[in-house]
Amino acid sequence: MTKKAPTFEEALARLEAIADDIEQGRVGLEESITRYEEGMRLIQRCRTVLTEAEQRIIRLQSDSAQEPAEGG
């Protein structure tokens, strides 16, 4: 299964936190740079997923036998 580790929600939350930390000057300069790099790597991963993904379609078998559908 494609596991986006982390999910976009998690990534966005993390990026929010990193940006806050750097903007508030809550962490030292070195640490800020480290977090910045982490943030950029995260963004790059997410962008890769978004831009390079190809649609995957998985056809599931229904549990019970079905009559062939008509119309739709």
Backbone angles phi, psi at 39, to 5 degrees: -60, -45
All residues at 6 or more sequence positions from 25 whose CB lies less than 8 Å from its CB, including other chains: 32
All residues at 6 or more sequence positions from 56 whose CB lies less than 8 Å from its CB, including other chains: 2
Q: Does 13 bind other proteins (CB under 8 A)?
A: no
Binding mask 28-47 for other proteins (x = CB under 8 A): -x--xx--x--xx--x--xx
**Residue ranges in contact with other proteins by CB under 8 A:** 1-4, 7-9, 12, 15, 18-19, 22-23, 25, 29, 32-33, 36, 39-40, 43, 46-47, 49-51, 53-60, 62-64, 66-72
